Amino acid sequence: MKYLHSLKSAVKPLATALGLTVAMGAALPVAAEEQGLTALQGLLQQIKADGVTESRENKARESRFLSDRNNQRQLLADAKAELKAQERLSDKLLKQSDTNEQSLKEVNNTLDIRSGELKELFGVVRQFAGDNRGVFQASMITAQYPERTAFMAEMAESKKLPTTAKLEQFWHEVLQEMVESGRVVEMPATVVYGEGNEAEKNIIRVGTFNAIADGKYLNYSPAVGKFQELSRQPDSSTLSDVAGLEAAQEGYVPFYLDPSRGQILSLLVQSPSVLERINQGGYVGYVILGLGVLGILLALGFYLNLTRIGLGIRKQQKTEEIIKGNPLGDIMKAYQDNRKADLETLELKLDEIIMKAAPSIERGVGFIKLIASVAPLLGLLGTVVGMIATFQAITLFGTGDPKLMANGISEALVTTMLGLVVAIPTLFAHSLVQSKSRSLIQVLEEQSAGFIAKHQENDLNKGAREVVQKVTASASQKEAQPA
């Protein structure tokens, strides 16, 4: 085979050379034949040299192949021995893996049992942190310890088991909230006023409920982490206790505490004052209040006038002298002027005096009653006007926003309230003035009846005396006649 291969190798260049020679012979002229022969001889020598070289290389390859075949047998034997060793190792590792897997299952079961209580504890801690995160953020204690807000948020959002240090810190934060809620502390803080101005003040924090500064109540704003002065403060009696707490150095002092942690004080800003409530009544409310003031003033003036007349009557009752300027004096004067008149004439004279005095005594009583009757009607009118405004708002804007209907409803309710507020005291004033006037007229009627009874008694005594005189005279005449 190797010789055949060498022959093929030698023939191939020769055939190529011959083909080239034939081609060249066809193309070249006869004069160049000697140069072609020289080239062919060189080519032949080159082919022989290449054949010797290739034969040498082939022998070297054959020698290497035989050597490699012996080495591969040894490598195969070594590989088989290594395979058996690896198979034995694989069986050993497989058994060890099964043993390790069984041990791992037992360890995981033990870990689950032992970490179950810890996971439950962390769940409770995370739930408590989430539930009280807003409470801690809204607490004014956060203004003194602002770093605890981030820690509570971390505990509420954590997905991993906390460390012992974090659990202790969480316990400390909860305990701190409990302790600080029972302390009265003075601390520096930023106070925002109604105009938007800010100032650093030393405020007094009363637990988690209230904060005061400069004799006024403050409200804590969790959004900005600052204190705000209430735009509307409680009455002066409450603020006096605030000043007392600021001035106190030790001991116990009275203080108005808001248990809702400032919500009630914040509602003071939204709740209207008396004047604002009256303004909600509109023009009808103003008319009702005007009538109420007029009725009370008239009732007061009429009552003072009746008191003056009553004092004059009581003064006249204590003396026989006629005092001018009071009805009882006029009755006494009429009695004295008509003492010799008959009974009917005297009665007519006295009744005339009482009838003249009655209008001055009962003056204004009916007007007060009219105001007491008109005030509720005006309140009803204001109610109707307010409901009309409410229905107009509903027609224009619908019922989506209750604030649009609040003005009409407020006007309806406030006018009704003002009508009752005016009617009730005016009705009492009317009853008082009417009772006072009736008592005075009753006194005049009683005194007039007394004078009439006295006049009648005098007439009876006069008639009796005349009868006695006649009887005495008749008896004297009978005794004077001779027997």
pLDDT for the residue numbered 14: 44
- Average pLDDT of the segment spanning 180-199: 84
- Average pLDDT of the segment spanning 195-217: 85
Query: Would you call 51 exposed, middle or buried from its count of C-beta atoms within 10 A (0-12, 13-18, 19+)?
Result: middle
Assess whether pLDDT exceeds 60 at residue 463. no
CA distance 148 to 11: 100
The CA-based dihedral angle spanning residues 18, 23, 29, 31, taken in that order and rounded to the nearest 10 degrees:
-10
pLDDT for the residue numbered 21: 42
- Average pLDDT of the segment spanning 353-377: 81
pLDDT for the residue numbered 16: 44
Assess whether pLDDT exceeds 70 at residue 113. yes
Q: How confident is the model at residue 29 (pLDDT cuts 50, 70, 90)?
A: very low
Assess whether pLDDT exceeds 60 at residue 3. no
pLDDT for the residue numbered 480: 57
pLDDT for the residue numbered 247: 82
CA 160-166-168 angle, 5° bins: 135
Assess whether pLDDT exceeds 50 at residue 30. no
> Which of 297, 278, 301 has the alpha carbon at shortest distance from 289?
278
Q: Which residue has the higher pLDDT, 123 or 421?
A: 421
Assess whether pLDDT exceeds 60 at residue 2. no
pLDDT for the residue numbered 479: 59
Q: Name the 3-class secondary structure at 163.
A: coil
- Average pLDDT of the segment spanning 318-347: 70
pLDDT for the residue numbered 410: 79
Assess whether pLDDT exceeds 70 at residue 401. no
- Average pLDDT of the segment spanning 91-115: 83
pLDDT for the residue numbered 1: 42
Assess whether pLDDT exceeds 50 at residue 167. yes
CA distance 214 to 202: 9
Q: How confident is the model at residue 24 (pLDDT cuts 50, 70, 90)?
A: very low
Give the mean pLDDT of the chain: 76
Q: Which residue has the higher pLDDT, 460 or 100?
A: 100
Q: How confident is the model at residue 461 (pLDDT cuts 50, 70, 90)?
A: low
Assess whether pLDDT exceeds 50 at residue 392. yes
Q: Which residue has the higher pLDDT, 105 or 53?
A: 105
pLDDT for the residue numbered 78: 81
Assess whether pLDDT exceeds 50 at residue 20. no
Q: How confident is the model at residue 242 (pLDDT cuts 50, 70, 90)?
A: confident
pLDDT tens-digit profile of 255-302? 888 887 777 777 776 667 777 778 878 888 888 889 889 988 988 988
- Average pLDDT of the segment spanning 307-329: 74
Q: Name the 3-class secondary structure at 269.
A: helix
pLDDT for the residue numbered 39: 74
CA distance 437 to 295: 17
Distances in Å between the Cα of 300 and the Cα atoms of 135, 163, 363 are 57, 80, 13
pLDDT for the residue numbered 15: 45
Pairing outcome for strands 226-229 and 210-213: unpaired
pLDDT for the residue numbered 7: 39
- Average pLDDT of the segment spanning 33-50: 73
Q: Which residue has the higher pLDDT, 30 or 291?
A: 291
pLDDT for the residue numbered 32: 53
pLDDT for the residue numbered 333: 73
Least confident segment among 233-247, 262-276, 404-418, 453-467 = 453-467
CA distance 420 to 425: 9
In the chain, the percentage of residues whose pLDDT exceeds 70 is 78
Give the list of residues 6+ apart from residue 352 with CB closer than 8 angstroms, or none: 334
